[in-house]
Structure 1
Amino acid sequence: MRWNRKYLLFLPGILVATGAWAQENMLFGYGQPKGRITSTEINEASGLIGSAENAGFFWTHNDSGDAARIFLIDDSARLRATYYLQGIVARDWEDIAMVKRSERNYLLVGDIGDNKNRYPFVYVHLFEEPTGNGATKRIDTIPKENITTFVMKYEDGPRDAESLFFDPVDDYLYVIGKRELQAGIYRTILPEIPTDTLILKRVGTIPHTFVTSADIRADGTEILMKNLLGVFYWNRKRTESVPQALKRPAVILPYRPEPQGEAIAFSRDGKGYYTLGESALGLNAILYFYQRR
């Protein structure tokens, strides 16, 4: 999502709809800057996920208009590796997630942005997580034959979304709608071998809007979402599905508003969460860490 002054007109409504004026819960501390994005290649960071294969590192990608590539950054926001997805078109990439299958870690990139609700299909690309070399700035390619693309459509028609995550407990892919005042929760199974178009079924709503990113903890016990002004948290009970957990009111967590905060992710060790925004309004994007108290 690109910065646009018209969003300022929606801020009061977003504050009311998200409860961003509610008192913050101090389960996590306030955001501490870890580093700023200095690479000119990362100019619209739109997704973020902690790396499983590269401890202490993160994967991110740009929003629409960029090549089909992902970036490996360290916890100081320095670019360490770039991987291009061969044969893939990046129409409007919005979020990135992690999947574990047969003891291997895979990344999921969601081409799910649709500002005008005009695309009949959206796409999710799955591929094994690369093992980067933190000592050198690497550029590499993920071959087309190593990428699985899932074609999806919503059961209730096209819509804009910027958030997805894969639940390691129930093995569903979840996509969260963006522009509705009550954001829709959609899900689908990801088969081992893609065949027909997958249907994203609506399984609930949350009383929040303009959701720009989401993540689930590696063990499936906690869920995070954010919009431009707030961070929302759910502690999932052992017997709950994701839709059941999201029926409860979210806990409002500390958040340092960014020029255009697009991305959020748990640390792999669960000791906190990170946020990353786009380089907007002439300001650098900063990687913030919110430590669990």
Structure 2
Amino acid sequence: MSIYFFLVFWSWFSCSPERPIVEPPINEFPIFNDVVEAGNIPTPELDEISGLVASELNTNYLWSHNDSGNSASLYLIDNKGELKGTIELPNLENRDWEDIAIGPGPVSGNDYLYIGNIGDNEGKYEYISIFRCLEPAINPSEIPFSKKIEETEEIKIQYPDQARDAETLIVDPINKDIYIISKRDFQVIVFKLSFPYSVTEINTLEKVGTLSFPLATGGDISKDGKEIFIRNYSDAYYWKRNTTQSVEEALAEPAFRIENYNSDKEPQGEAICFETNNKGFFTSSEKMEDLAPKLFYYSKK
């Protein structure tokens, strides 16, 4: 998302006398230590980093990407932010990639990357897309690497009512359901695409809930499906999930606001993900003028 759209929206949201009072979840659950600056995000490769997800096949590495107008590429970085390689996706277009997830897919036992081509600043697109490909296993001897993946699938999606902007994508590792969280609603909306879904026809999302805060910019779910993060520019929210619950049932319960999440270090923070071993989480922000993007880490207590 461009900073122009963010500033216009936030100015209107902050100043409009007719806006509804939005009460975000305020339960504070101090289960994470204070932030550690893990390292610098590589630039210019990831000037506009918009998504992060921990690799399942490549331990201690993260997949990342830029948002609109950039190349259709994925970048593998380590847990210090150092670039290890690039995956080009020549058959895809980065119209507005806003988030990335990892989860099960059509072939049992395999891990798939899900790229959320879900940004729509002007709310004008007939449909949005999620691109899916097998996660590649990288041999450490190949680093640094540059590869191409040509075998991808496109899951086309439309909203049940109107086009929307979104930056949050979650794939349930338990049942393969896909969740998209809207961005520009005062209380962001939770949409669900139940598995199985078509890769030949346009799928229609189902509205399954709302969250009591605006401007959701990223999210993730733990590998076991028991923990969920959703963030915006100022806060990070955390849910515990009983695996007998659906994701929307878990999100309907009060969130824990991470009390020591430090948004001051992230002027346009859009990325968040669990660590592979689930011992903490990472966040990052796009580059802003002379402020280089950095990778931040919060460990569990």
Give the aligned residue type for 1:73: I
Q: 1:210 aligns with which of 208, 215, 228?
A: 215
1:283 aligned residue: 291
1:61 aligns with one of 56, 62, 65: 65
- Equivalent positions of 1:1-293 (< 5 A) are 1-4=1-4, 5-6=7-8, 9=11, 12=14, 17=22, 19=24, 22=26, 24-101=28-105, 102-134=108-140, 136-143=143-150, 146-191=151-196, 194-253=199-258, 254-257=260-263, 258-293=266-301
After the TM superposition, list the runs of 4 or more consecutive aligned residues in structure 1 that deviate by more than 4 angstroms: 10-14
Distance in 1 of aligned mates of 2:197 and 2:136: 19
Contact kept? 2:228, 2:240, Cα under 8 Å: yes
Q: Deviations 1:205-233 (Å, cap 9, x if unpaired)?
A: 11111000010010000110000000001
- Residues 192/116 of structure 1: CA separation in 2 closer, same or farther (3 Å cut): closer
TM-score (norm. length: structure 1): 0.93
Distance 1:208 1:278 in 2: 21
**Identical amino acids, percent of aligned pairs:** 34
Give, in whole Å, the separation in 1 of the partners of 2:58 and 2:12.
39
Quote the offset at 1:19 in angstroms. 3.3
Between the aligned partners of 1:88 and 1:238, the Cα distance in structure 2 is: 34
Question: How far 1:134 moved relative to its partner?
Answer: 4.3
Q: Matched residue of 2:208: which SS?
A: strand
Q: Using a 3 Å threshold, how does the CA distance of structure 1 residues 235 and 10 change in structure 2: closer, same or farther?
A: farther
Distance in structure 2 (CA, Å) of the matches to 1:77 and 1:18: 34
SS of equivalent to 2:104: strand
Q: Aligned pair in 2 of structure 1 residues 95, 63: CA closer, same or farther (>3 Å)?
A: same
Counterpart Cα distance in 1 of 2:210 and 2:9: 22
Larger mean CA deviation between 105-114 and 240-249 belongs to 240-249
Q: Which has the higher strand share?
A: 1
Mapped contact 1:222–1:235 kept (Cα < 8 A)? yes
Taking a change above 3 Å as real, the CA distance of residues 150 and 285 of structure 1, as seen in their structure-2 partners, is same
Name stretches of at least 5 consecutive residues in structure 1 with no aligned partner. none
Summarize deviations over 1:122-158 as a string: whole Å, max 9, x none: 0110000112344522111101xx1011111011111
Alpha-carbon offset, residue 240 of structure 1: 1.2
Shift of 1:24: 3.9
CA distances 1:271-293 after superposition (whole Å, capped 9, x unpaired): 01110111113111111111111
The alpha-carbon distance between structure 1 residues 280 and 11, as it changes in their structure 2 partners (threshold 3 A), is: farther
Residue ranges of structure 2 left out of the alignment (5+ in a row): none
Distance in 2 (CA, whole Å) between partners of 1:244 and 1:232 is 15
Distance verdict in 2 for CA 1:190–1:123, change over 3 Å: farther
Aligned partners of 1:234 and 1:124: how far apart in 2? 24
Give the paired residue count: 289
